[in-house]
Amino acid sequence: MIKQIKLSIAAVVSITVISFSANGAMSEKEYAEKRAALIIKHSHQDSTFAALKNEKQKAKEQSDKGSFTSEYWRLRIDQYLYGQYIEFQPIYDAYIDGKKFNEIYDLPAEDLGPKWQKPERLPAIPKGHFTDNLPGNTYTGWHQLVGDTVYITYQGHLTDPYVASYNLKTDKWDGPYKAGHSTLSKGDRKIDSHGRPIIEVDNQGYIHIVYGGHGGEREDGLNPFSIDTPHAGGRMLHVVSAKPYDLSSFIQKDDISPFASYTKSYKMANGDIYFFTRGGTHKSPWLYYKMKNGTQTFEQPVIISWPTPQKDDPIMVDTHYINPLKISDTEIAITSLWHACNFKEYHDKTHYNRLNLYYMVLDTTDGSFYNAKKEKLALPLTLASTNQHTLAYDSEKAGETSFGTKPLVLEDGRTAAAYEARGKDYREWRMALFENGEWTHGHPMPGTVNRTLFDINGKKVKKVFGLEVLKNNGDTAAVTYQNNRGESVFAIAKQTSSGSTKEQNWQVEKAYFKVAKAKLQMKPVRNQSGNVEALILNVRKGVSQRLYLWHDGKFRAN
CA 137, 548, 182, 325: dihedral to nearest 10 degrees? Answer: -70
Bridge-partner residues for 10, per DSSP? none
pLDDT in tens, 500-548: 567 889 999 999 999 999 999 999 999 998 999 999 999 999 999 999 9
pLDDT in tens, 97-142: 999 999 999 999 888 889 999 999 999 999 999 999 999 999 999 9
pLDDT in tens, 10-20: 334 333 333 34
**By percentage, how much of the chain surpasses pLDDT 90?**
86
Residue 219 pLDDT exceeds 60: yes
Q: What pLDDT was estimated at residue 110? A: 86
Residue 249 pLDDT exceeds 90: yes
Q: What pLDDT was estimated at residue 277? A: 98
Q: What pLDDT was estimated at residue 502? A: 76
Q: What pLDDT was estimated at residue 206? A: 98
pLDDT (mean) for 276-305 = 97
Residue 66 pLDDT exceeds 70: yes
Q: How many CB atoms lie within 10 A of CB 324?
A: 24
Q: What pLDDT was estimated at residue 229? A: 79
pTM of the model: 0.94
Residue 346 pLDDT exceeds 90: no
**Helix ranges restricted to H, 8-131:** 28-43, 48-61, 70-84, 88-96, 101-104
Greatest alpha-carbon pair distance for the chain in Å reads: 82
Residue 5 pLDDT exceeds 60: no
pLDDT (mean) for 155-182 = 97
Buried b (16+ CB within 10 A) or exposed e, 160-170: bbbbbbbebee
Q: What pLDDT was estimated at residue 513? A: 96
**By percentage, how much of the chain surpasses pLDDT 70?**
94
Q: What pLDDT was estimated at residue 507? A: 97
What are the backbone dihedrals phi and psi of residue 163, each rounded to the nearest 5 degrees, phi first?
-140, 140
pLDDT in tens, 364-409: 999 999 999 999 999 999 999 999 999 999 999 999 999 999 999 9
Determine the distance from the C-alpha atom of residue 500 to the mean position of all C-alpha atoms in its chain, rounded to a whole number.
Answer: 41
Q: What pLDDT was estimated at residue 67? A: 80
Least confident of 33-37, 84-88, 230-234, 316-320: 230-234
- C-alpha span between 313 and 172 (Å, rounded): 59
Secondary structure E strands in 258-370 = 261-267, 273-278, 286-291, 302-303, 308-309, 316-326, 331-342, 354-363, 368-370
Q: What pLDDT was estimated at residue 500? A: 58
Residue 8 banded pLDDT, cuts 50, 70, 90: very low
Which residue type sits at 263? Answer: T
pLDDT in tens, 53-63: 999 999 999 99
Please answer whether residues 110 and 42 qualify as being in contact, where contact means their C-beta atoms are separated by less than 8 angstroms: no
pLDDT in tens, 416-459: 999 999 988 899 999 999 999 999 999 999 989 889 999 999 99
Residue 1 banded pLDDT, cuts 50, 70, 90: low
Residue 348 banded pLDDT, cuts 50, 70, 90: confident
Mean pLDDT score of the chain: 92
* Catalytic residue numbers, as ranges: 194, 262
